Structure formats: C-alpha cells, structure tokens
Amino acid sequence: MVSPRLSGAVAEAARSLLGCRLVHGGVTLRITEVEAYGGPEDSASHARHGRTARNAVMWGPAGRAYLFFCYGAHWMLNVATGPEHEAAAVLIRGAEVETGLETVLARRRATRVTPGLCAGPGKVAQALGLDRSFNDHDLLAKGGLSLLPGPAPTRLLAGPRLGIAYATPEDQARPWRFADGDSRAVARRKALAPL
DNA sequence: CGCCGGATTTAA
DNA sequence: TAAATCCGGCGA
C-alpha cells in the first residue's frame, strides 16, 4: 500500500501515485499510468513559459487538481506535487475501474469493459466526470474528487513522455512516464520498458 | 496492431 | 497556429 507522496522530485511523486485511487461520487479508479512534468526548466511542461492563468495550479500547493483542456476536445487531470511557488504536476494517463462501472460505461459511451476503457488521460477525466470546474480542487480534502492510498504495483515500467515533440531532445528522452507493469490499462505499452 | 485524418477550444 | 488526445476507418 502506498500513500500519495506529493513532496520531493516530481518523477518520484509520479511513481508513488501508481496504485493510488481517485474517487468521485460512486466511481473509484485505480491509477495505472502517469507522467511527471516540472517547472520552467522542463521544456515539455506547461510551466515552461512561466506562470499563466492556465497553469497557475502547477505552482502549488501540492495535492490540488490541475485540469486543462486539450486538442479542443478533452480534459486532462493532473495532480500538483510541488511546494508552493515551484511548478510540478503529475498527469494521470491511465486507470482501471474499481467501483461505479455502470457510471463509467455511460460516461465513456461504452457497453462493456475493455483494457482501454480508461487508458488515456482524456478517458480518465471523462470517466470521473471532470471538467474545468474541478481545477484547483483539493484532492486531499474530504468531499468531491479525492485521492486515496492504494496498492503499489509490483512491477514498474518507464519510458519517454508522449505528445511532447515541441520539447528539447533531452526533455523528450527523459523517462518520466511510468506505468504498472501488471496492468493492461496502459496505452502504447510498447514504448515502455521495465524500470 | 499500426497509420491516418478530423474534431474543436485555448493560449502564446 | 499548434497543442501533455481520441476515435473511426482501413490495411497488415
């Protein structure tokens, strides 16, 4: 069992979130895939150009939800992990449904469970019913969307982050994408290797 | 399973 | 104008 660790390096925080649960209403998801994003020094991060209205939550405090809208169609859920005034966030990229399956199937417009049901950041937020109104929500407080401890994965996979072609080669190569090696709810698993 | 194009809002 | 993506269609 691991508790969400939201202090220390963002990559370490990202790994510690694997296995933790996201709970909203009757829906519980177990996190299977994450990506770490840093501050202005990370050319792949939304914080690379400094603090903006969109990325303000990344600057802490830790444990708040950073929601952003992507490609004109999808909401993405991140967990802010840095101390106040230091930008860091972990993108929740994949999950497995533990409770509230009927609700998730309806939100995802699916009729049955498949490995890919919540494999993908847009799918995770959709399964939880999230949108901009959850930005800056405290995930460690009771009520609403919350983050809870869960069983840590036995095997870990790691690899480069996805969809960051605009970043420097060094930052593109940084292995800051992590996944549960025993879960099938991981998109594009081929790009990952045992940690 | 992989590649491709369209959808469609936001922010630099 | 490009983006921390998804989905359906198609071919291997």
Task: Assign residue A143 a region (left: φ > 0; alpha: ψ between -120 and 50; beta: otherwise).
Answer: left
Instruction: Tell me if A70 sits within 8 A of A54, measured CB to CB.
Output: no
- DSSP per-residue string spanning A84-142: TTS--EEEEEEEEEEE-HHHHHHHTT-SS--TTTTBSHHHHHHHHT--GGGTT-BTTSS
pLDDT of residue A4: 60
A49 touches strand B (CB under 7 A): yes
* Chain B nucleotides reached by a protein CB under 7 Å: 1-2, 7-12
Whole-number Å distance, CA A113 to C1' C11? Answer: 26
Q: What was the pLDDT predicted at A84? A: 87
Pair of tokens at residue A149: 């401890």
Give the CA-to-C1' distance from A189 to C4 in angstroms: 17
* Res A83: pLDDT: 87
Nucleotide nearest A78, from its CA to each C1' = C4
- What is the reported pLDDT for A143? 85
What residues of chain A score a pLDDT lower than 50? none
Q: Is the CB of A53 under 7 A from strand C?
A: no
Give pLDDT, residue A5: 60
Q: Which nucleotide is nearest to A77 (CA to C1')?
A: C4
Which structural domains are found in chain A, ordered by start? 10-194 (3.10.300.10)
Q: pTM for the whole thing?
A: 0.94
pLDDT tens-digit series, residues A6-16: 655 999 999 99
Determine how β-strand A65-70 pairs with β-strand A27-37: unpaired
